[in-house]
Structure 1
Amino acid sequence: MGSNGDILDCLIVGGGPAGLTTALYLARFKRRFLVVDSGTPRAAWIPTSHNIPVFAEGISGKDILARARTNLEQYGTAIQAGRVTGLRKQPDRFIGVVEDNDGGMSQISARRVVLATGSVDIEPDLPDVPNAIQRGLVRYCPICDGYESRDRKIAVIAYGTHGIGEAVFIARTYSRDVTLLTLGQPLELNPEQRTRLEEHQVKIVEMPVESLDMEDDRISAVHMGGKEHRFDVLYSALGLKYRSDLAISLGAEHDKSGALIVDSHCQTTVKGLYAAGDIVRGLDQIVVGMGHAALAATHIHNHCELPTEDEPGGA
């Protein structure tokens, strides 16, 4: 689709909650679009989210994705497996280069593009435990499930300002027994940061992790400096790698970490290029990404026939 000069209304890059919600809105607006999904959504790592308002018992990330896909089937929505490896902008369209799972290449032309490519958590370097976040051994979203960890012994794997902020957030919200693990990296604290940690009784362990004890598919103990530390829950706060290369290649504005900066319609500084979900600077939550999708899709529908600033008569 799009390789024969046919121009779609929209190309959606990414099949996580934000991308699939964008597709739902555009399908119900009767727009012509395509979703290209690499099959690696961050949401799939969520064991249970309790912040989706209509699921009182919580819902897993995989179930959210499956339900969203099933919902789209009634509209005949096309989801193409593959990766958008390049994106070019012409006055009246974008051209996306798509690589399918077999290595085949194709091009998609679309008037507008929504990037819902998300981000990837930086995995902690734990001995003999690769991909601890993806395996659910270490959690990454206390906003999603911190309530279920209230009043328990919590460790936060982090260093730097972001880690300090997350440790304090958990300590002041959910538990008075929080330890910050820096995995052997020295923690440089200014007086204000030190005061904040002391105020919330956050303990700091800067020694590297020597070994881990596993019990019932969970990390039950962490050995550091010859001592055993036992925790009920481990969170990682090492930050994110934003999948924003396509937007940055077109000159879209972003912050120093690579998160995209958008306007009130979730449009980037590149006209016609929108972003939704974790790739956008701000709060990384599924309901927020769905909100981004609603804003972007509605704006696209209302402006799809109008020229962009690169076209004659555009603004």
Structure 2
Amino acid sequence: MSESDEAAYEIAVVGGGPAGLTTALYGARLGHETVLIDRGGGRAAMMADTHNVIGVTEDVSGNEFLATARDQVAAYGGDFERGFVESIERVDNAADGLDGADDEDGADGRFRLVAGDDAYLADRVVLATGFSDKRPDPPLPRTGKGLHYCLHCDAYMFVDEPVYVMGHGEAAAHVAMIMLNVTDDVDLLTRGAEPTWSDETAAQLDAHPVDVVDEDVTGVDNDPDTGWLEALAFADGTRREYRGGFAMYGSEYNTALAESLGCELTEDGRIDVDDHGRTSADGVFAVGDVTPGHNQIPVAMGQGAKAGLAIHKEIREFPRSTAAIDRDGPVTEADVPAIPPDLLATAVAHEGHAGGPREDVGAEAESETPAADD
């Protein structure tokens, strides 16, 4: 593939969950050429309902939520590409004959992202690659209708209902005890595995009304009309009624791209970042579930917003530093505004623009210089 075939952007976001989409939204709306590359799927796409997001009602599915977000990004001029990013490498601008120079505050050269037959160049990369929950062996209830993974998202659904927690480690034991805050009927299902929780945790469990069930699950009974879980059958022939529960077998963080770029990881395998999503690798940011913190949509959106703002401050053209003024001279009227022509046209035509939507923006956008908010 020749360099001319590679689309060039200021910001490339890998991953189309709430964190990645919010970063892309900020990037495009703040006037930066932005592409979001998403392979599809992810935890948010699996949600039957959206919880804990102010302004979004419970009847909105994860796919509906994400589709609306993609439309918003596109409305501000961001590009969306469906694909799986297989590799990212840093490329030297001068050696590769690329326009642009290493900037003062960030990346040494650009990044080349490869997704199948497509390649993209970007000044900044944002990794929003998330993680996958480790699923226990079947038989299992249906995901979202009796099998859940996010305690703080879904515990409310089971207030005063019989629930299970499936697992044999520290997390499973603690989640079982936490569920006692919302219901008095909690079973901890080890499914025949030897418990690996600590002696201290075992003492805690003994002091809480949690029934530890060692028998393996052999069957699942669902409501024929709603598909919701009604009960689980066990190897000893017993049947226990549950409204739902949580599987706690750990997570697999998608950090291969981060590791290839030299990003440092935390002890539990997530990408280590500062308060604005910067990794240890210059020009590389990470947001969302692949980073430390609560795995919640509002948290992910906040991380995406902070990363988007941090990137904007790094790569915006003005104010020009005194060093750049000494090197390149003062800013002239011909230099402003710094927003690329296509994004300028999109902004002036957008319904949120102060001048109101205009259909004739194509010809005049490049000649006019509208006032810009700081």
User: In 2, are the aligned partners of 1:151 and 1:176 still within 8 Å (CA)?
Assistant: yes
CA 1:232/1:22 → structure 2, altered by over 3 Å: closer, same or farther?
same
Correspondences of 1:101-120 after superposition (within 5 Å): 105-120=117-132
**Deviation at 1:72?**
2.1
Correspondences of 1:268-287 after superposition (within 5 Å): 268-287=279-298
Find out whether 1:213 has 2:221 as its counterpart: yes
Residue in structure 2 matched with residue 170 of structure 1 by the alignment: 179
**Deviation at 1:293?**
0.4
CA 1:243/1:2 → structure 2, altered by over 3 Å: closer, same or farther?
farther
User: In 1, are the aligned partners of 2:149 and 2:246 still within 8 Å (CA)?
Assistant: yes
Residue in structure 2 matched with residue 295 of structure 1 by the alignment: 306
Q: How many aligned residue pairs are there? A: 298
**Deviation at 1:285?**
0.5
Instruction: Write 1 or 2 for the structure with the bigger share of strand.
Output: 1
Provide the C-alpha distance between the structure 2 equivalents of 1:218 and 1:50, rounded to a whole number of angstroms: 18
SS at match of 2:249: coil
Correspondences of 1:203-242 after superposition (within 5 Å): 203-216=211-224, 217-224=227-234, 225-242=236-253
Instruction: Write 1 or 2 for the structure with the bigger share of helix.
Output: 2
Deviates most, 36-45 or 256-265: 256-265
- Which structure 2 segments of 5+ residues have no match? 92-107, 318-323, 325-374
Given residue 21 of structure 1, which amino acid in structure 2 is its aligned partner? T
Provide the C-alpha distance between the structure 1 equivalents of 2:58 and 2:88, rounded to a whole number of angstroms: 41
Corresponding residue to 1:253 among 261, 264, 278:
264
Find out whether 1:192 has 2:203 as its counterpart: no
Given residue 280 of structure 1, which amino acid in structure 2 is its aligned partner? T
Compute the TM-score of the two structures, normalised by the length of structure 1: 0.88
* Structural RMSD (CA): 2.2
SS at match of 2:148: coil
Provide the C-alpha distance between the structure 2 equivalents of 1:252 and 1:32, rounded to a whole number of angstroms: 24
Provide the C-alpha distance between the structure 2 equivalents of 1:6 and 1:39, rounded to a whole number of angstroms: 21
Provide the C-alpha distance between the structure 2 equivalents of 1:38 and 1:205, rounded to a whole number of angstroms: 39
Given residue 26 of structure 1, which amino acid in structure 2 is its aligned partner? G
Correspondences of 1:257-268 after superposition (within 5 Å): 257-268=268-279
Provide the C-alpha distance between the structure 1 equivalents of 2:198 and 2:21, rounded to a whole number of angstroms: 43
Correspondences of 1:1-315 after superposition (within 5 Å): 3-4=3-4, 7-57=8-58, 59-90=60-91, 91-99=108-116, 105-127=117-139, 129=140, 132-133=142-143, 136-171=145-180, 173-216=181-224, 217-224=227-234, 225-304=236-315
- Which structure 1 segments of 5+ residues have no match? 100-104, 307-312
Given residue 208 of structure 1, which amino acid in structure 2 is its aligned partner? D
User: In 1, are the aligned partners of 2:255 and 2:271 still within 8 Å (CA)?
Assistant: yes
CA 1:3/1:176 → structure 2, altered by over 3 Å: closer, same or farther?
farther
Which of structures 1 and 2 has the bigger CA Rg?
A: 2
Provide the C-alpha distance between the structure 1 equivalents of 2:74 and 2:118, rounded to a whole number of angstroms: 24
CA 1:6/1:229 → structure 2, altered by over 3 Å: closer, same or farther?
closer
Given residue 203 of structure 1, which amino acid in structure 2 is its aligned partner? D
**Deviation at 1:86?**
0.4
Given residue 77 of structure 2, which amino acid in structure 1 is its aligned partner? G
**Deviation at 1:284?**
0.5
**Deviation at 1:195?**
2.4
User: In 2, are the aligned partners of 1:15 and 1:35 still within 8 Å (CA)?
Assistant: yes
Provide the C-alpha distance between the structure 2 equivalents of 1:187 and 1:285, rounded to a whole number of angstroms: 28
